[in-house]
Structures are given as C-alpha cells and as structure tokens.
Structure 1
C-alpha cells in the first residue's frame, strides 16, 4: 500500500508529473479558509502572491533601513567635521550638545571634564575635581569603555544634577588621552531605552573624536 510519504517523494522526484497528467491537476481541490474548495493551481497562485507580498515588504524594510543609515551617516559626518574645525573648547561643547539634541533626539546630555575650573577654558561642560569624580563615578571612569544601562542614584545625580530624577537609563563613555580627562553621558526617561545589551559603536566613535579634539583645547 502506498503511503503519503511515498507520494510526496514521487512528486518531488518528478516535478513534471502534473504537466504530463493535467487532468489530475484539475481534479485536485484544497480546503479554503472560507470553507469552500479551491484548485491546486489557485492555491499555488495564492501562495506565490503571499510570498511576493512578503518579499516586497522585506525589500521596503531594507530600503527604509538604508535611507535611515544614510541620514545617520550624514549627521555624524557633519558633527565630526564641526568638532574637528572648532577652535575653542566652548565651540566643541556647543556643537556637541546641539547635535545630540537636534540630530539624535537625545533627551538628556552632559559632558564632565576633570580638572580645575579656574584653569580650564570656559564652556558649557561641567568641570569637576579629579578626586571628587572618582569618588562618585569611579567605576565608570575606570571602565575605559562605553556602557549602557541603569545607574545608581548617586551616579545619576553626579552626572546629570537636577535632571537625575527624570532619567531612567544612561549611556556613558569616559574620555581619555593618556589619562581620563572627562566623561560624556546621555540619558533617557525610559529605563529600557539604553540597555546593557545594546551596541555602543556610535558613542565609542564619538568619544574617539572628542579624545582627539578636546585635549589641544584644554589649555
């Protein structure tokens, strides 16, 4: 007795079976969702249409992602060029803050520089003492890499001041040129916005740019 597996194997081995037996193809009927019956050809056409729609949706998603990546690249290029061309610490900080808010929709941001406020050039960055910084955010400064996630309340207050209670998650990266000279921190009210599992490529790249532009302007 022939079972279903043998039938399937035979049809797969002879894809021209229904070409040689068109009457058998026309006689086949498949149940439809509405309860009526449809022919195999109609079913194949329906499947092909569904697959075509799925492929078009995937293509549209790829095109949308490509356009978003192009926009992100242009924004990043514009920011990097502005930072490189800046001739003062104040200009660097202003350009950075403006771009983070206007181009990347960052809700909260701050740049902390380690040192003496009396000796560093004026800017919108917050200047804190080295010892004080290590006391409050020492683990962040020693990490030597970008981190994302939920911080302790003490760390939030030190990084964001009065905005600390409004921040649910943070992405931060130490700035280093021979030694740590600052930290860039961005925050969001959503605790899940910056997660420990997310990539930090952009923030790390931005830190590399700041590591090369800021030191020459700190004196």
Structure 2
C-alpha cells in the first residue's frame, strides 16, 4: 500500500503540461544550458517520422520564411497592378478632359477602356434624350422610354449593377456584340440635366459578378458627369 501511495504521490507531484510550458516560456535559455536534453527530444513529423527538436525548428523557420516571401511577392504584384491601373486611369481621364466634342469623348472613353484595361472587352456610353435633337452616329442617344423598356429593371435602384445580364439587355447596351458577352457592369450617369448609362463587358461569364463593387465605374461616371455637359451645345 505504501509503495502504491508513493507512486501516486510522485505522479501528483509531476508538473502539468501547462506548468512545463509556462516554465520554458519564462526561461527561454533553458536548453542553452541543457543541450543534452535538447538533443534527446523528438517530435512527430507530418510524415510520421520522428525528428529532433532542432530539425523541427529549422523546418518551421523554413516554412515561415517561404510564407513571408510569398506574402511579399503578393504585395509587390499588387503594387505593380495598382501602379498600372493608376497610369491607365490617368491616361483615360486626360483623354476625356481633352475631348472637344461629345462624340470624341464617347470614342475616347470606349476605345481606351477596351484597349488599356485587360478585363474589359466591350464598352458602351448611351445618353437618354431626344434623338432628333442630339442624334449622332458616334454618340448614341435614345429616348428615356426606350431605355426604360429595355434596361429599366437595371436602373431601378439608381446604382451600379454587375453580373450576367439578359439577352435583351445586352443587345440594347452592346448591339451585335451581345452574343459574345459573358458578363457586364453598368452605372447610371447624370451629365447636366440628362441621364444615361455607362456599360462595360467581358467575354468571361465569371468576370463581372453581383458581389463586385463599382468604385472604378463610379469614378469614371463622375468624370463624365462633369465633362460632357460643357461639350453639349
């Protein structure tokens, strides 16, 4: 009985895992003075093979180093992408500011959106008004009633829309190119006392999704709202 009690007492006297962990955290130099213990420690590896603590530490440091390098690479890629986007946006805005006529603004806008921005395959600018007064082969103007008939559902909320559109909506926005479009995005514009819509599209059905924001389009729309009225006589 005494032997059993002594054995149980020794077990109870053994430090818990939490106590051992707390001690090692408070004494980070412990293994420096006890290298023989360090050499004897074994840890389970992912492969099932036991490895020494030093080997495991080296592996952890190597994994952390690779993770940091991947993060740094991602940051650099994002920085380069943002620089390119800024330069493309600047060229687009300057082109709009230099336009002398409404159709020149429309042509510059659509051409640069498609040529400079990799994800945009088609672009369209449409104004709602009296086609007989403002009609131009290069600046598209349709009546508000016609626009409401074809894309009224997209404009109800007064905000930008992204996603897969119906065939009738695509045909109205992009004409013959509608059959090649997978997804699109559009925002309402309000140049002066007029209304209209700016739309862009991609051949990829997955590119423009309903969860996407329209910050870039909103920005371009704001520029159009300010520049176009002074070009309309």
Identify the residue that residue 167 of structure 2 maps to in structure 1: 153
SS at match of 2:217: helix
Q: Please tell me whether the aligned partners of residues 127 and 141 of structure 2 are also in contact (alpha carbons under 8 angstroms).
A: yes
Q: Please tell me whether the aligned partners of residues 156 and 164 of structure 1 are also in contact (alpha carbons under 8 angstroms).
A: yes
Quote how far apart the aligned CAs of 1:54 are.
Answer: 0.8
Identify the residue that residue 130 of structure 1 maps to in structure 2: 144
Q: Please tell me whether the aligned partners of residues 93 and 123 of structure 1 are also in contact (alpha carbons under 8 angstroms).
A: no
Identify the residue that residue 107 of structure 2 maps to in structure 1: 94
Q: 2:203 aligned with 1:189, yes or no?
A: yes
SS at match of 1:113: strand
Partner of residue 104 from structure 1, selected from 111, 117, 134: 117
**Cα distance in 2 between the residues matched to 1:120 and 1:180:** 11
**Cα distance in 1 between the residues matched to 2:93 and 2:184:** 22
Unaligned runs of 5+ residues in structure 2 are 1-10
Deviates more, 1:168-177 or 1:123-132: 123-132
**Cα distance in 2 between the residues matched to 1:148 and 1:180:** 23
Quote how far apart the aligned CAs of 1:161 are.
Answer: 2.0
**Cα distance in 2 between the residues matched to 1:175 and 1:30:** 64
Aligned pair count?
219
Aligned ranges 1:51-90 → 2 under 5 Å: 51-90=64-103
SS at match of 1:143: coil
Q: 2:60 aligned with 1:44, yes or no?
A: no
Quote how far apart the aligned CAs of 1:205 are.
Answer: 0.2
Identify the residue that residue 33 of structure 2 maps to in structure 1: 20
Quote how far apart the aligned CAs of 1:121 are.
Answer: 6.3
Q: TM-score, normalised by structure 1?
A: 0.90
Higher relative contact order structure (alpha carbons within 8 Å, sequence separation ≥ 6): 1
C-alpha RMSD of matched pairs (Å): 2.0
Change (3 A) 1:27 1:8: same
Q: Please tell me whether the aligned partners of residues 172 and 184 of structure 1 are also in contact (alpha carbons under 8 angstroms).
A: yes
Unaligned runs of 5+ residues in structure 1 are none
Which one has the largest radius of gyration?
Answer: 2
Q: Please tell me whether the aligned partners of residues 101 and 231 of structure 2 are also in contact (alpha carbons under 8 angstroms).
A: yes
Q: Please tell me whether the aligned partners of residues 89 and 121 of structure 1 are also in contact (alpha carbons under 8 angstroms).
A: no
Deviates more, 1:98-107 or 1:61-70: 98-107
Q: Any runs of at least 4 consecutive aligned residues in structure 1 with deviations exceeding 6 A, and if so which?
A: none
